[in-house]
Structure 1
Amino acid sequence: MDHPFQSFGLDDIGGVRKCSHMGILYLFSEAALEVKDNGPEHWAKRRNLFKDSKQWSSIGGSSITSSINEESGISEDSRSVDMAARDLGDKGFYTETFHCASWIYSGDEVSPTAGPVPPGLQPRTVTIRERTVKIWKGMGEYPWGFRIQFSKPIVVTEVDTNGAAEEAGLLVGDFVMAVNGIDVTSIPHSEAADLARQGPDLLTLTIGSDIGRGPNTPRPTCRGYLHKRTQSGLIKGWRRRWFVLRHDCCLYYYRHKKDEGRKRALSSFKLEGADVGGDPSLGKPFVFKCCPLSANRVYHFSATSNLEMKRWLDAMDRAVHPVTQNHVWVDVTRHNASLPPLAVKNPECLGLLHQIDRNNKDTWVQHYCTLKDGCLYFYAGIRSTHALGGIYLHGYTVREQPLGSKKSTIELKPPSDEFKTFYLCAENPMENKRWVLSIKASSKKWLPYHQAVQDYMNRPPEETRM
């Protein structure tokens, strides 16, 4: 009998997951991939399977896994964790390019051997990815704030406005796959509902969501020099500083432009809920003020023109009233980051990579990495229980080039200079080429929304032969 998820193009959700490579077929039970089943024996078996099959070996037959053993495994020391956190930014993930534009997931590439699909029969790509939704129990007759359909799989059919489920990010059309850690894909609808009602006040759901259902809402950043009115000293003055408003709704400022990404900010404060607007009371043109809730002071800034002041006020106003709902993709990456590296389903590439330390160009920090759907996850080692962080690859281009004493490295180039450039290096040039090809294919799955619309408008007209 067909699995209920097969109509949505899934082959990795259910009782058995299939994975083939180099002519070998592997079968993994879903129970073996559950996060809760992370005992030493379980992951030892997974590592042995990973090494023996050479499932992710390079094209030339050499495998980076040959250097992974109990003695040479990556040390999970605090130094690696600190370097990764410092280099990747807030919470270990660098997400600037994703939040600064509107992106839409274009889906997995169609196999070139599949043959052409007749016009009019091309369905919209439905790409289901797992994420975790945690809902705190509310009040009233329906405290969770959502409805589910009597079906297999269980589908969310309604989410109450301003309810607990909406606040947690549950969406109409989501598939409920597990309730409080218990798989519900094959149990009756009533049993799944009872698991939620009889459980704790924090309902933890494993959800299957379509990450291509719509674009994200961008949270544009703003950068530039402003003059800031000083607070210290007897004589008030103005000092030129480099200001950076990031998608996390925080305003950072540095002494110089070159200090961004290299030195710690002189200060920062959150703009959410702040009072922002022009202030002509100081007798200086193009002055505006900001009164953040987290600080007991008023900040005054001076721009170089009325246009520049308007640009900053528009950006700061968006930060004062931010979009609080995460895009499904952000929740998916958080879910994947909570898993061990070998438990991420259908990775596009994985293995050892070295990342250059921004503060010491001669130092390369070793990580175990997993690539999935345009996100590169960094782990301290293959035995790690969760990721240290990652890089959202939206808009990045990748190429192989020499750097310093290394003849072959991987350069991740951002769409503009305001974002970070990353340098990585695998064990050998063949591994670098393998990673470059995989990253190129993975990053192309995401299109800028305007480009996706343009591609749709420029598509050839569909014809029906009568």
Structure 2
Amino acid sequence: METSGDLVAMEIIKPPEGFGDEKELLYKKKKKKSIRAKSEERYGYKMDASTQSSISLHASLHDLSGYEDDDTGIYLEGYNQGVWVYISQEEEVNCWNRHEPLGRMDSGDSTEGEREFAKKFIALTHRMVHRRASGECYRRLGGCQLEINKRISLHRTPTTEYGFRIHGSRPVVVSAVELASPAELAGLEVGDVIMSINGLQVLDSSHSDVVRIASGAESLELELARTKNVVMETEDLEEQHQDDELNQQIVLRGELGKFNGMDLNSDEGRGARGVWVERHFTLTRTTLSYSKTPTSPPLKIISLWKPSPLSLTLNANSILTLSRGHTPLLLLTASSPVTLETWMETMATLISNCEDKWVENSGRLVSLVGAEKIGNPDCSGWVWKLGRRVKSWGRRFCVLKDAVVYFFNSQQGEAAFGASHLHGYRVQTVSILGGKRHAFELLPPEMTMRHYYLAVDTENERKRWLAALEYSIDRWINLASNNIQKF
């Protein structure tokens, strides 16, 4: 509902004496320091003059939380813009437990497109590990509970490596550990936050500084804050029904034969006819994916009905063809005709139903009374939110879960008044905005979509929210972007 001019005049509290001088001072400071949101500098976003003056004006006014918020209802534009697939609870657990080679991926019998997809997927899961471990680190810092709970010693020879990979900065987090390496044998785990190296404190060090310190040493004494145990406690797969709500309930899984038609544009594919290889396939309510083994990263994920439904054709030679439009995507076979027919019939049923439970579930969560009813959130707490039409800060209780932020006027006793799907959004800090020193912004993938400005009361809280938002958004893969559907 639009906020009328009369309502604004009625609710705004009279400015304190000398307010005009303060307004002028704010203007001069902004002009002198050229303070702008980072999105303006890097991505071309630019606040118009009326927005800037409105933000400065209300920086000195009282909290206007009593206004009806202009984000009432469910905003789905981010979700509707793409073909989104959620990284399931099972796959997240796999990436925390997986030991992987740290060198170049073995091409083996994979196609160029499969190797590229797996590479992007692994990079994404490394980011997820870093963001989630960082969020846990900031949570402990906020409660004065961050402490060293693991110490290990690593040694290497001139011809060997330590066997682990790190990700991110401030903090630096272990994102991969190689099987049977010195790191794995010493007990290093994915998700370990590196607190110190050889007696040097590195919690606030950059990625490059940590690499420089570690690369020149033949042995490492590491002090760590372990986060994996805390993360795993919230990932009890036997009790999880979340994957069903996120369209990721496993309907069918097993081994199928896949025809690898080589990419004729690549050197390896010129003149090649292709080969049949065995792959592990997983069918959910909305996707079909396959990998080399049940626990290895997926080589491809295919939407069953976006952007258009798959077509299924079974020929007399027991070869199942999956096509989208006039483009064949997969040729499949199985150990028996009965098995292949089961896969075909199950996929055909799912395609005909086209049931997207995700939208239904997010709508259900909005109707729940009480923020605490949204279980296992990625982050929650009081946040200042800048109105989009009335440029005033309102204090809201926010709950973040699976790339959706739910807005509440109070922590208990009320249902959410709105929810915004942040699929495809980017997150970054703002130096100072409307008098808020710990502000950040949510940048949409398209200029025409909603742009959010939020703020919290401390720098540690801002870091916690940034890590949680990036983790929550990263759990969704857009199959429609970056030619990710190319075979």
Specify the TM-score bucket, using the shorter chain as the normaliser.
Answer: 0.3 to 0.5
Greater strand content: 1
Structure with bigger RCO (C-alpha 8 Å, 6+ apart):
2
Greater helix content: 2
Q: Return the TM-score normalized by structure 2.
A: 0.35
